[in-house]
Amino acid sequence: MNLEEFLIYLHNGAFTSAKFLFTDCLSVADLKNLRLVCRNLDLVATSYPIVTRLFMSSHQADLEAFEGITKNKRLARHVQLIIWDHSVYNLLLLHQNLYLEYPRVEEAEKSDKHKQRITQARKMWARLAKQQQRILVNDSDLKAFSTALPSLTSLNNIRLTRLEFACQCCCGCMSPAQRQWFNIPKKLRKYLEEPHDEMCLMVHDKWFPCRIVYDHPELFYTVFPSLPTADIWSSVAFRGLKCLAANLETPLPNLRLLSLDAHPSDVFSGSSQEMAFLKTAIGSLDCFRLSAFRSGAQILIAPFRDLMSSARNLTSLCLHFAKGPWAPTISSPVRLLTKVPPASFPKLATLCIKGPDATLKDLTDLAQWCGEAAIGTLYLGCFHLSKDAWMDVLEAWKQEGSLKHLDTIYIHDVSDIHVARGRGRTLQILGSYSSADEDAVVDFLNGDGDYPLLEDMFF
């Protein structure tokens, strides 16, 4: 290592350490205080791209951190990524101060100490929930974002999602709201864990499935159908997108990546303001990711095709849909995509498409579509074939030949059902498969390798 390489090594190490200190260790209050007492630190923080990622939500901790950075234009100019978190504290706490009840508490645990801790935990949870309710009612988050947007001149990546409070990190770090969660004493936090599938909510002497209501704010009306349609909870699930749509006149010239996670279907109606924003933004995007695995989004073909017709600069497209009890008839990403002319994507190089269900015809149509679009990389995952077999799919692809030119095809966590006979019995076996590596499928399609899917079978 010569002197020049050594100096670069030292510089990169110091920069990485400073970035970790500013973004992952210091609170906004600490950052403000350090900048006030140390001129050199203030110069470093405002001159170098150290604070490049911000979290935004309707949680008090996230909002304070966001405003603390964006009110200083010299700091705001370095921000490249905004993660808008749509998570909510328990919805029933936010409505008429109703509390979450746990029906499966063991009798032995119902001691005075146990009840005292539950009371403490609920008060803490209620305080956080009321803070969020106040922010939502006053639109404080939307106002803060609208004010900051002109200063975010380097913003190139927006992710609209829902974070888990108990999750350790997102994109390499915890949000201020998540840090706040982990600062709650563990003896209280265990009573505030997010509800699992078996838990129920007791509301007015009736039980409701807890996980569905908690995960899907757009289904809140199944619990309180009498709420007015203009209630704030109807928009919690895609509040960030609504805010971006409301600021359509503010240009985002550097925006290159947009991720939408779990947005209700009315976002994709042709007349919505959100759709107008998406059509404007997608024209300059390099990467667009759409996930619909927490809400039962029925995306119609016509508006989806209309949206994709503007995506002429996309180099990467990811569609991830999953079916569950809240979304039994969710749209098929394959059928949506194959209705869009491949010519709409002249620069598309990478396609990632996941579940939930497909047929042999769907996947054959997808292969032909990919061949016409001339993509280089294809990722498939989470598809289940209820009537066909993946062996038949790969043989059809091999015969058809549309995918032989691809550099990479990776298949992960797909499944089918086939019949096995033995010892006088007939069994239906669920087979789960993934490709051995990123070259195995392409080699097989070109006649240079063995069958590429590895099977993990279970009954």
Q: pLDDT digits over 70-101, tens only? A: 988 888 998 999 999 887 765 555 554 444 44
Q: Residue 456: its pLDDT value, please?
A: 65
* pLDDT grade for 421, boundaries at 50, 70 and 90: low
**191-229: buried (b, 16+ CB within 10 Å) or exposed (e) per residue?**
bbeebeeebbbbbeeeebbbbbbbbbbbbbeebbeeeee
Asked if residue 260 has pLDDT above 60, the reply is: yes
Overall average pLDDT of the 163-180 stretch = 69
Overall average pLDDT of the 34-59 stretch = 76
- Whole-structure pTM value: 0.81
Q: Which range has the worst mean pLDDT, 46-60, 201-215, 319-333, 435-449?
A: 201-215
Q: Residue 295: its pLDDT value, please?
A: 47
| Inter-residue long-range contacts of 120-125, CB under 8 Å, 24+ positions, other chains counted | 120/188, 121/188, 121/189, 121/191, 121/192, 122/191, 124/184, 124/188, 124/192, 125/89, 125/90, 125/93, 125/192
* pLDDT grade for 328, boundaries at 50, 70 and 90: very low
- Tell me which of 407 and 164 has the higher pLDDT: 407
Let me know if residue 19 belongs to a domain.
yes
Q: Residue 377: its pLDDT value, please?
A: 95
* Count of C-beta atoms within a 10 Å radius of residue 275: 19
Asked if residue 435 has pLDDT above 90, the reply is: no
* pLDDT grade for 261, boundaries at 50, 70 and 90: confident
- Tell me which of 129 and 29 has the higher pLDDT: 129
Q: How is residue 429 annotated by DSSP? A: E
Q: pLDDT digits over 364-413, tens only? A: 999 999 999 989 999 999 888 877 888 899 999 999 999 988 999 999 88
* pLDDT grade for 267, boundaries at 50, 70 and 90: low
Q: How many angstroms separate the CA atoms of 3 and 16, rounded?
A: 20
Looking at the 3D structure of the chain, how many domains does it have? 1
Asked if residue 155 has pLDDT above 90, the reply is: yes
Asked if residue 265 has pLDDT above 60, the reply is: no
* Residue-wise DSSP of 190-204: TTSPPP-TT-EEEET
Let me know if residue 232 belongs to a domain.
no
- Which of 2-16, 138-152, 381-395 is most confident? 138-152
Let me know if residue 20 belongs to a domain.
yes
Asked if residue 345 has pLDDT above 90, the reply is: yes
Let me know if residue 1 belongs to a domain.
yes
* Count of C-beta atoms within a 10 Å radius of residue 352: 18
Let me know if residue 327 belongs to a domain.
no
* pLDDT grade for 156, boundaries at 50, 70 and 90: very high
The dihedral region occupied by 428, where left means phi > 0, alpha psi between -120 and 50, and beta the remainder, is beta
The mean pLDDT of the chain is 76
Let me know if residue 26 belongs to a domain.
yes
Q: Residue 338: its pLDDT value, please?
A: 92
Overall average pLDDT of the 318-332 stretch = 65
* Structural domain containing residue 15: 1-50
Let me know if residue 116 belongs to a domain.
no
Asked if residue 240 has pLDDT above 50, the reply is: yes
Let me know if residue 10 belongs to a domain.
yes
